[in-house]
Chains A and B, each alone.
Chain A
């Protein structure tokens, strides 16, 4: 590719999300906007490659795409309301042409993210649509990240856009009374994208960094658009604090390195500082929520010089607050682990007892590993061995299972007896 067309492509990618968001509003049709944008992309590569990138690339793409959309509407004979839509578009053309630069209209991207994350869409469709419409990844890249074929991902996207158009999923920021719930849904999608990159449930690599990067980029955009929502800022802080450990999480052979074994000099200080700063700003608003609490826990880990010097007492306290804000037995397991470190194994076991009795996490390996670790440190070797065996039985991953079986047999190859079972990675 020539450097001129490379520059054209880069400029196009920068403008893409903002232009798409504006086009969807102007055209009132998600799929048509996407198709018209594809047409405009082809036109831009040719024109910009020849004449250079125009001064206002966003306005150029928007106008070109709108013309292409009108061409498409004229060709589509099957469309029942095309005459009406053409009339409306022609009528509004003058007003559209005078709109400011698309990147200046932040509201359109905010509308777009709420539409992409609408609960009437399947979760996997929300994730794909958010990445494709607002992120910088191509359909092929998203397909690879989620381990499905290109055609399956393309179809997933087309189906989602068709549902938005046919069922008339509204293109707007929800009203105040709906906002908390719907914003929670948007944040859940963004965090899911991050976690999919972070935990890499499948695939060749342990961390799919491009998904983490996209999640951070999108959350950063949302935090800019909604500066008064501390949970958005809290989620951004949480992602940055986790992501600061990316380089230390995988060893030279590509294997996972647990938090306590990581080389802390590899942690990204810039990300940690930014995460801390964002978290402080969010907390200062006095509306604490689950993401801010998780970010606060991550910050205590990220700023501790070593595992031994980590403030587990405060971490346990934060887990207690988190358990109140978003009750879950998994949170209780994490609280038990932290408390076991700050107040001793018996304190941890006391928290774990009702979780074990509850039965909801019977097949959750980290629960049994946490139990085993606490029993071991409390001096109950037989109980610990049984719990390690139970943890092994719940694990699908062969490497992890072998390690847990070794511990059950009491022939631990690791020098330290207290591997923290919480899945803080």
Chain B
């Protein structure tokens, strides 16, 4: 079955953690029970990100995320489901979906 990355972009203040972790645990568990879960993690806030580029042999390391936008990559799930509609259905169930944005990307399969 094809794999999809659910890339979760959250507003600049990131996920609200602590007491709201329960819905995330429940969501992860639902994925596992459906046999769709491959991997998933929350990321530390974007201010802890470091971006690296190598141009003309020169390495440039800079503070901050790759794209400085209002919504930043805050976490991801990798899921294994039959098709895009199934992936979109899971994406719609992500906690705090009303304030987050999810990018659904198929994962390249190597033979």
Which residue of the partner chain, among B106, B110, B111, contacts A168 with CB atoms under 8 Å? B106
Which residues does chain B contribute within 8 Å of A305, judged by CB atoms? Answer: none
Asked whether B40 is an interface residue with its Cβ less than 8 Å from the other chain, the reply is no
Which residues does chain B contribute within 8 Å of A169, judged by CB atoms? Answer: 83-85
A120 to B85, CA, bound (A): 9
Which residues does chain A contribute within 8 Å of B104, judged by CB atoms? Answer: 167
Query: B109 touching A168 by the CB < 8 A rule?
Result: no
Which residues does chain B contribute within 8 Å of A166, judged by CB atoms? Answer: 106
A120 to B104, CA, bound (A): 10
Which residue of the partner chain, among A81, A168, A178, contacts B84 with CB atoms under 8 Å? A168
> How many residues belonging to A are interface residues under a CB distance threshold of 8 Å?
11
Asked whether B2 is an interface residue with its Cβ less than 8 Å from the other chain, the reply is yes
Asked whether A317 is an interface residue with its Cβ less than 8 Å from the other chain, the reply is no
A81 to B110, CA, bound (A): 9
Chain A residues 62 to 83 lying within 8 A of chain B, measured CB to CB, are 80-81
> What is the CB-to-nearest-CB distance from B85 to chain A, in angstroms, rounded to a whole number?
5
> What is the CB-to-nearest-CB distance from A168 to chain B, in angstroms, rounded to a whole number?
4
Query: B111 touching A80 by the CB < 8 A rule?
Result: yes
A174 to B82, CA, bound (A): 14
A166 to B84, CA, bound (A): 10
Cβ proximity bits B85-111 to A, threshold 8 Å, 1 near / 0 not: 100100000000000000010100111
**A167-B106 CB under 8 A given contacts A120-B84, A120-B88:** yes
A168 to B84, CA, bound (A): 5
Asked whether A202 is an interface residue with its Cβ less than 8 Å from the other chain, the reply is no
Query: B88 touching A168 by the CB < 8 A rule?
Result: no
A118 to B84, CA, bound (A): 10
Asked whether A170 is an interface residue with its Cβ less than 8 Å from the other chain, the reply is yes
Query: A81 touching B111 by the CB < 8 A rule?
Result: yes
A361 to B85, CA, bound (A): 36
Which residues does chain B contribute within 8 Å of A81, judged by CB atoms? Answer: 109, 111
Which residue of the partner chain, among B82, B84, B109, contacts A167 with CB atoms under 8 Å? B84
Closest residue of chain A to B110, judged by CB? A80
Closest residue of chain A to B106, judged by CB? A167
A13 to B109, CA, bound (A): 37
Which residues does chain A contribute within 8 Å of B106, judged by CB atoms? Answer: 166-168
Closest residue of chain B to A83, judged by CB? B111
Which residues does chain A contribute within 8 Å of B83, judged by CB atoms? Answer: 168-170
Closest residue of chain A to B81, judged by CB? A168
Closest residue of chain A to B111, judged by CB? A80
Query: B85 touching A170 by the CB < 8 A rule?
Result: yes
A73 to B111, CA, bound (A): 16
Chain A residues 169 to 207 lying within 8 A of chain B, measured CB to CB, are 169-170, 174, 178
Closest residue of chain B to A175, judged by CB? B85
Cβ proximity bits B31-49 to A, threshold 8 Å, 1 near / 0 not: 0000000000000000000
Cβ proximity bits A138-178 to B, threshold 8 Å, 1 near / 0 not: 00000000000000000000000000001111100010001
Query: B109 touching A80 by the CB < 8 A rule?
Result: yes
Q: Which of A80, A120, A168 has the most CB of B within 10 A?
A: A168
Closest residue of chain B to A118, judged by CB? B84
Which residues does chain B contribute within 8 Å of A170, judged by CB atoms? Answer: 82-85
Which residues does chain B contribute within 8 Å of A174, judged by CB atoms? Answer: 85
A80 to B88, CA, bound (A): 25
Closest residue of chain A to B88, judged by CB? A120
> What is the CB-to-nearest-CB distance from B53 to chain A, in angstroms, rounded to a whole number?
27
Which residues does chain A contribute within 8 Å of B82, judged by CB atoms? Answer: 168, 170
Which residues does chain A contribute within 8 Å of B2, judged by CB atoms? Answer: 168
Closest residue of chain B to A164, judged by CB? B84
A309 to B106, CA, bound (A): 59
Which residues does chain A contribute within 8 Å of B110, judged by CB atoms? Answer: 80
> What is the CB-to-nearest-CB distance from A370 to chain B, in angstroms, rounded to a whole number?
37
> What is the CB-to-nearest-CB distance from B104 to chain A, in angstroms, rounded to a whole number?
8
A30 to B106, CA, bound (A): 17
Chain B residues 1 to 59 lying within 8 A of chain A, measured CB to CB, are 2
Closest residue of chain A to B109, judged by CB? A80
A174 to B104, CA, bound (A): 19
Q: Which of B88, B104, B110 has the most CB of A within 10 A?
A: B88
Closest residue of chain A to B1, judged by CB? A168
A120 to B102, CA, bound (A): 13
Closest residue of chain A to B86, judged by CB? A170
8 contacts between A and B (CB under 8 A): A81-B109, A118-B84, A168-B83, A168-B106, A169-B83, A169-B84, A170-B83, A170-B84
The 10 A-B residue pairs with the shortest CB-CB distance, nearest first, are A80-B111, A170-B83, A168-B83, A167-B84, A167-B106, A169-B84, A168-B2, A170-B85, A168-B84, A166-B106
> Given A167-B84, A178-B85, 5 other A-B contacts at CB below 8 A?
A120-B84, A167-B106, A168-B106, A170-B82, A170-B85
Q: Residues on B close to A: CB < 8 A?
A: 2, 82-85, 88, 104, 106, 109-111
